[in-house]
């Protein structure tokens, strides 16, 4: 016993000397996770962690990786969260995995197991942007409209709430948020002409606490509250028959001091206002930021960015809360770079407009009223069936869903931007036919597609680009810009040490100097990246993680904008640390399906009919003009087009429905399917004649 005491005393003495000499840490730094979607209620995505710096970022190496178990390689858009040393991440098909945040060891996985045909309702891939955590539970919104609470230790469901009408084309791709004892979730489906809303559920029981609708319903049934009655005065006609749109499919933020929840509201459904609201009107609360009381869902204020939206200019893009000194006065502000191309700064207490400045080229508006922020809409932007409009930005936006980041150290907001022209052409409003199972935009599907002339197509592709920019919201100007190889790239993370992390569509994950934009480090991760990175500290070590997986709206249905895109190769989480020594597995050589189409012998009128039907039913997943770089087959290279029976089995008999290819037997006739096949064969032969095309 005496010997043990003496040995213990000796150890204490040695430790004391070591501490005095600074050779061992006095105390290991506390773990710091990434507890919610935007890191904090203000959604800044700015980390105070300081172990990874501009001086040592070049020493980053892979610490670990973990693959998602997916039905097929699809887009990965999720933000992993890290709580108590465990990472919870969502992937395609709303699947969730729990990982040891230090090693990547899989602890459990959850598969919501819904019908593959639900993919038809998702305008923009079978993606999921993240989960939430509270009271030992992980919450995930499922593509089919469910909100599921999982036991954080086991991954077993605790409760399930059906948040949407299963008979309508709603989806959920956004991340839930938790405020107090409530978990909040919105939905998507405006292109399918549903009615948008946001719902709050009790964290422990899953009981519905409140619901706030963002557009008015049928007046004959009464309005839910005074705010909706007010909104109804800005609509015309019988809008409720088509839903109205206004889905809250992504962004939210919360100010605990003001106790205000901010939601971003989506586009109109249908897009064409002459169909949706004949006679015009502002159509509240489309394309608006709305402030609500999170306990009750009561309306407080709104700011509408695009009155009478008809361009898919949503206000669902990332919102960030900050305190800025503007004109010598400290202001509590909300910042957003929505699809419409203006960077907005508004007072988050009152909804008062402070400033709005173009952050990308735009032509739909001639400017904003300096007092109200109301846009002066260019007359030519109000397109029609005989009056097309080549618009900037496109429906994909000057900035899409990919999160920004705000650094209070530099004062800059870091934004992934895009420049893509788009041809808006309405169909004749008098001939509009509502399809409860399909898109209802009011656009002319045949005329909005890319032109057939390959030279014109090449010119249009040359107009498309993307960049990572640093924006000063006080000076209202761009401070630096890093061009990207394409317009579809990942979300952003900034740190207190002056780093900005972002992945891009070619699969490069990079760190930039937050002040200058100079690239300091990069690694290639084998597949395009659209998700935003996160950083956390566990066991005294800082890690940086990013979800990898190519997909989303542009790869699927605007493939010609992504001529340099890396094809989908993996769906995984990759995590880095200083001195990491792990190696990513070497992928087998990319083998594209052979291009061996049958001769294009169909009569021109059948091909033209196939072009129309394809762009009514198929382009959302298989791409404008049958060009796609996402996780679904390139039909031009598919062996199925050589055989009418095989092609029919896929389209009318559901042969690939478990993988997300819907059964169109209720929508198309065998003759129409054959016309689609004739059109795809024609497009395959176009590519064979000119392999330089995407």
Catalogue the active-site residues: 312
Give all strands (DSSP E) within 514-609, no chain letters: 519-524, 534-538, 541-548, 572-578
Rama region for 283: left / alpha / beta (φ>0; ψ in -120 to 50; rest):
left
CA nearest neighbour of 75 among 92, 87, 63: 92
Do 624 and 450 meet the contact criterion of CB atoms below 8 Å apart?
yes
d(CA 636, CA 651): 15
Task: Spell out the residues 6+ positions from residue 142 whose beta carbon is closer than 8 angstroms to its own.
Answer: 94, 112, 114, 148, 172
Radius of gyration of the chain (CA): 26
Q: How buried is 5 (Cβ within 10 angstroms: 0-12 exposed, 13-18 middle, 19+ buried)? A: exposed
Looking at the DSSP bridge assignments, the partners of residue 60 are 578
C-beta atoms surrounding 522 within 10 Å:
16
Task: Spell out the residues 6+ positions from residue 501 whose beta carbon is closer than 8 angstroms to its own.
Answer: 492, 493, 494, 495, 509, 510, 511, 512, 533, 535, 544, 546
Collapsing DSSP to helix, strand or coil, 3 comes out as: helix
Reduced 3-state DSSP string for 212-278: EECCCCCHHHCCCCHHHHHHHCCCCCCHHHHCEECCCCCCEEEECCCCEEEEECCCEECCCHHHHCC
Q: How buried is 328 (Cβ within 10 angstroms: 0-12 exposed, 13-18 middle, 19+ buried)? A: exposed
- What phi and psi, each to the nearest 5 degrees, are found at residue 360? -140, 165
Q: What share of the chain is helix, strand, coil (3-state, %, to 5)?
A: 20, 30, 50
d(CA 342, CA 415): 12
CA nearest neighbour of 458 among 627, 635, 619, 311: 627
Angle 417-420-423 from CA coordinates, rounded to 5°: 145
Q: How buried is 471 (Cβ within 10 angstroms: 0-12 exposed, 13-18 middle, 19+ buried)? A: buried
d(CA 486, CA 691): 20
Q: Put the strands of the sheet holding 405-407 in their side by side order.
A: 405-407, 412-419, 465-472, 477-484
Collapsing DSSP to helix, strand or coil, 560 comes out as: helix
Do 422 and 390 meet the contact criterion of CB atoms below 8 Å apart?
yes
User: What angle do the packed helices 604-617 and 670-689 form, to 10 degrees?
Assistant: 100
Residue with tokens 């084309």: 169
Tokens of 136: 């030992």
Collapsing DSSP to helix, strand or coil, 130 comes out as: strand
Tokens of 337: 């770079």
Looking at the DSSP bridge assignments, the partners of residue 134 are 137
């Amino acid at each position: 016993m005496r010997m043990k005491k003496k040995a213990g005393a000796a150890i204490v003495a040695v430790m004391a000397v070591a501490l005095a000499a600074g050779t061992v840490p006095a105390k290991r730094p506390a773990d710091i996770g990434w507890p919610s979607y935007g890191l904090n209620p203000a959604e800044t995505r700015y980390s105070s962690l300081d172990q990874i710096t501009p001086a040592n970022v070049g020493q980053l190496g892979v610490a670990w990786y973990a693959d998602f178990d997916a039905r097929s390689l699809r887009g990965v858009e999720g933000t992993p969260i890290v709580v108590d040393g465990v990472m919870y991440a969502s992937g395609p098909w709303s699947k969730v995995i729990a990982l040891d945040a230090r090693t990547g060891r899989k602890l459990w996985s959850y598969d919501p197991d819904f019908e593959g045909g639900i993919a038809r309702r998702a305008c923009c891939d079978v993606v999921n942007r993240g989960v939430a955590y509270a009271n030992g539970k992980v919450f995930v919104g499922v593509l089919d409209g469910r909100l599921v609470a999982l036991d954080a230790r086991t991954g077993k469901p605790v409760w399930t709430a059906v948040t949407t009408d299963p008979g309508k084309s709603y989806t959920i791709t956004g991340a839930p948020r938790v405020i107090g004892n409530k978990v909040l979730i919105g939905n998507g489906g405006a292109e399918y002409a549903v009615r948008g809303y946001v719902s709050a559920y009790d964290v422990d029981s899953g009981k519905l606490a409140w619901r706030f609708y963002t557009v008015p319903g049928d007046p004959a049934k009464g309005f839910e509250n005074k705010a909706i009655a007010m909104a109804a005065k800005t609509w015309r006609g019988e809008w409720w028959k088509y839903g109205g749109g206004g889905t809250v499919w992504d962004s939210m933020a919360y100010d605990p001091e003001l106790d205000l929840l901010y939601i971003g509201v989506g586009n109109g459904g249908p897009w064409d206002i002459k169909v949706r609201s004949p006679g015009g009107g502002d159509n509240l609360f489309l394309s608006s930021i709305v402030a609500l009381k999170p306990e009750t869902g009561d309306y407080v204020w709104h700011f509408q960015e695009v009155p009478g939206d008809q361009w898919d200019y949503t206000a669902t893009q990332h919102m960030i809360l900050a305190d800025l000194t503007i004109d010598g006065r400290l202001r509590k502000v909300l910042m957003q770079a929505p699809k419409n191309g203006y960077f907005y700064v508004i007072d988050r207490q009152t909804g008062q407009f402070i400033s709005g400045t173009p952050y990308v080229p735009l032509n739909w508006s001639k400017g904003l009223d300096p007092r109200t922020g109301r846009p002066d809409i260019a007359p030519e932007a109000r397109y029609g069936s005989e009056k097309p409009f080549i618009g900037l930005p496109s429906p994909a936006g000057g900035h899409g869903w990919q999160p920004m980041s705000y650094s209070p150290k530099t004062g800059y907001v870091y934004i992934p931007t895009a420049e893509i022209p788009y041809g808006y052409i309405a169909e004749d409003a008098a001939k509009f036919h509502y399809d409860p199972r399909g898109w209802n935009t009011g656009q002319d599907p045949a005329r909005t597609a890319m032109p057939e002339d390959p030279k014109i197509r090449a010119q249009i592709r040359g107009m498309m680009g993307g960049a990572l920019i640093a924006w000063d919201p006080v000076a209202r100007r761009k401070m630096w810009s890093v061009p990207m190889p394409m317009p579809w790239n990942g979300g952003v993370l900034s740190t207190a040490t002056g780093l900005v992390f972002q992945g891009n569509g070619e699969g490069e994950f990079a760190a930039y100097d937050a002040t200058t934009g100079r690239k300091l480090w990069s690694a290639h991760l084998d597949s395009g990246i659209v998700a935003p990175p996160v950083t956390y500290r566990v066991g005294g070590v800082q890690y940086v993680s990013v979800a990898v997986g190519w997909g989303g709206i542009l790869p699927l249905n605007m493939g010609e904008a992504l001529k340099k895109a890396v094809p989908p190769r993996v769906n995984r989480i990759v995590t880095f640390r200083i001195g990491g020594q792990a190696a990513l597995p070497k992928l087998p050589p990319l083998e594209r399906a052979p291009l061996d189409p049958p001769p294009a012998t169909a009569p021109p009128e059948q091909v033209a009919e196939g072009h129309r039907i394809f762009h009514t039913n198929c382009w959302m997943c298989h791409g404008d003009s049958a060009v796609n770089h996402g996780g679904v087959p390139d039909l031009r290279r598919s062996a199925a087009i050589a055989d009418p029976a095989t092609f029919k089995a896929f389209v009318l008999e559901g042969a690939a429905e478990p993988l997300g290819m819907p059964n169109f037997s209720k929508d198309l006739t065998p003759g129409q399917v054959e016309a689609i096949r004739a059109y795809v064969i024609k497009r395959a032969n176009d590519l064979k004649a000119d392999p330089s095309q995407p």
